[in-house]
Structure 1
């Protein structure tokens, strides 16, 4: 155990069948060994505490160029890698930013790492999950049902927050701020199948589930916060949304507002990577490519840099957390605006969830992500606000992003959750 964090030497429980970002080469051949948890109230530097725990448990994270190019071991009992979750609030603490309002899910840690080791067995985990929190403790379980959704702010309050960002831009405080809303609802029954439906939404590059003693996080995120592979650091910011129709695609490609907003975040990500010690020139490998997530088109770019010296996980997390596409520019100033405007904390959303392995790092940004705890399901959605943003349109965009998640939680549809 390390000061400022909570390390556990017992076997981790409740891990997902396929941890988000884990390599196909070891899926079904690894099992959880131990876990680490850190809360904001624990204090200390979460990036350093996490790195120390991983390193001392056999995962080399002090020099990621070695991690990115080393031979991947397969012997029974060898360390395979670690699931990793970092909340947006923990990311803000890492860079000295405002952590925001209190989380509506305070029982969920702000950093979780679950270490995996290889086994000789081909584990047939299937899609089954252990019992998840909040369901009725009866036999047989109550049917799955979600109650009425409760918003953390009204539509008018959300629109007023957009106008407040306009004022901050007019003062010269910021260029762009991502504003996020939150909803929650009570539920009964086993949430496992509903969470699995979320992870299987079309375009869910990081679809997966992480669980704890009395909570679970499920993500359908399409966005790469950071990847380390083949000696390069990569980030793929997403910014710009339209309905997944032919007309929506044309509108997205033709929108000067969406392109300007997108390029602003690409520049922010370029600067984030350029400040890292041990990396070479930063390149924009792809700009404003249109990708599909469920029923939406979204614009995505790829920014990368070669690793040319010593680069550790702690410095990498400090550079990219919290993600630029869900904060704004300049990042620290945007965090101050977010903390003043958003009515509740971002909880498990707008953070990181993925995999730190012996041969790669792959962390998704926890957009399109839900949490269940205390008998309630929680969901966050928002969007980037620039000077040209229309308040009503921004509220509608957030609702469009949350729509497929709500539908997946409610139950299977006849059209594949589209």
Structure 2
């Protein structure tokens, strides 16, 4: 039986953060944020709240078959809850469905990698089922409330009233209790780098992503921190997911992981980074140097080949194409080298098969993927949690989009954690790689420290 969803027009606001203020106190509030108008790269924002739980993660220590079964269970849950939902409209990307975070560390179990660092409450997968959402379309300058049939008229009315009476921002403040500290000293980073170089020279791998984690105690409202970071590093795949009064994921990612629309699959890996400069001539030189860099192009190509292989597990043979290779895309704090790969999903496969067989994204592991993940588990002293995982939605009508959760900060129990990493290949130099981790998140750290 086909189900139809309801659409109700709302007053459009250029900045969706103003609307999210009205929904933040509802449990499970989530904002998928294209950072418009600060970033012109995105089109849609998705605001939702009041979810019901999706299937729970397998228990700690569960093996790969248990995790494969979990993704099958997600598909079954999705079909039973939403049935055969008709697309609300071509320009409505999400009409309710599953939304949340796939923690990087859950990929270890999928790939039979023995984790050496202790998992945390944010290491697994945290997906919830949402039955309504507010969609902001910045291209059409349109806002709509889209709701599944089970959403009552009273709930829809409450949402409308909240959004009509958007409160002024209540700034409860945010401050660090001390400056950020890394979990790796410079000497420890160099030692890890040299271990990776030894593995590369031995033929174990071609590329490994190595990250360091910065942490500090904090007090106040993570939303205030997100608004500050958004103002300096707006990115089209940003998100703010609230997990409690002082627990939240702040994500300012420029990178798409997987998109599924109909049967068309798209992934857009980033490999290659240069910092932005205030001086226009210096900034152009940095972009040109990135475009011409043989090292960065080789690094990017390794990941393109890896992702073609990942997509091949679920796409029609011969349908996978590299539509763009080594494009320079510029963001507020960095230039990136980006490629784009597409394919056609097989008729007997769906979004959860695609996620299971491609996660985690190859751009943040290295190549070959499983061996790179083993080396990451050996050398990084703490779990990655949400970092390098994915913020994802799978709409009730089957449409999916997701990011690579880089440029991400996790607030939990009075501590804020932020990661910076980069891919290491045979001709990498440790000082340059070490500096690149700061190029990516240094402005984040400085901005939050200045709030203290």
Structure 1 unaligned spans of 5+: 1-10, 132-139, 413-418
Query: 1:395 aligns to what?
Result: 434
Contact 2:265-2:343 at 8 Å conserved across structures: yes
Instruction: Map 1:231-380; keep pairs closer than 5 Å.
Output: 231-244=263-276, 245-276=283-314, 281-357=319-395, 358-380=397-419
2:261 pairs with 1:229 = yes
Query: 2:113 aligns to what?
Result: 97
2:130 pairs with 1:116 = yes
Q: CA deviation at 1:128?
A: 8.1
Against the structure 1 CA distance between its residues 188 and 206, is the aligned structure 2 distance closer, same or farther, given a 3 Å change threshold?
Answer: same
Structure 2 unaligned spans of 5+: 1-24, 36-41, 133-146, 148-155, 277-282
- The structure with higher relative contact order (CA 8 Å, sep 6+) is 1
Q: Deviations over 1:30-78 (max 9, x none)?
A: 543302353761736345325524632557899xxx88xx52389xxx9
Report the Cα distance in structure 2 between the residues aligned to 1:160 and 1:190, rounded to whole angstroms: 37
Residues paired across the two proteins, number? 382
- When normalised by structure 2's length, the TM-score is 0.76
Contact 1:17-1:126 at 8 Å conserved across structures: no
- When normalised by structure 1's length, the TM-score is 0.81
Tell me the SS of whatever aligns to 2:108. Answer: helix
Against the structure 1 CA distance between its residues 334 and 26, is the aligned structure 2 distance closer, same or farther, given a 3 Å change threshold?
Answer: closer
2:242 pairs with 1:211 = yes
Report the Cα distance in structure 2 between the residues aligned to 1:93 and 1:31, rounded to whole angstroms: 30
Tell me the SS of whatever aligns to 1:311. Answer: coil
2:424 pairs with 1:385 = yes
Q: Deviations over 1:125-178 (max 9, x none)?
A: 9998999xxxxxxxx967634522121010121122111111101100001111
Query: 1:83 aligns to what?
Result: 99
Against the structure 1 CA distance between its residues 143 and 344, is the aligned structure 2 distance closer, same or farther, given a 3 Å change threshold?
Answer: closer
Query: 1:3 aligns to what?
Result: none
Tell me the SS of whatever aligns to 1:387. Answer: coil
Q: CA deviation at 1:83?
A: 1.3
Contact 1:348-1:371 at 8 Å conserved across structures: yes
Against the structure 1 CA distance between its residues 362 and 408, is the aligned structure 2 distance closer, same or farther, given a 3 Å change threshold?
Answer: farther
Tell me the SS of whatever aligns to 2:131. Answer: strand
2:204 pairs with 1:173 = yes
Of 198, 212, 219 in structure 2, the residue corresponding to residue 188 of structure 1 is 219
Against the structure 1 CA distance between its residues 129 and 399, is the aligned structure 2 distance closer, same or farther, given a 3 Å change threshold?
Answer: farther
Contact 1:40-1:90 at 8 Å conserved across structures: no
Against the structure 1 CA distance between its residues 53 and 263, is the aligned structure 2 distance closer, same or farther, given a 3 Å change threshold?
Answer: closer
Tell me the SS of whatever aligns to 2:373. Answer: helix
Cα RMSD for the two superposed structures: 3.3
Against the structure 1 CA distance between its residues 124 and 254, is the aligned structure 2 distance closer, same or farther, given a 3 Å change threshold?
Answer: same
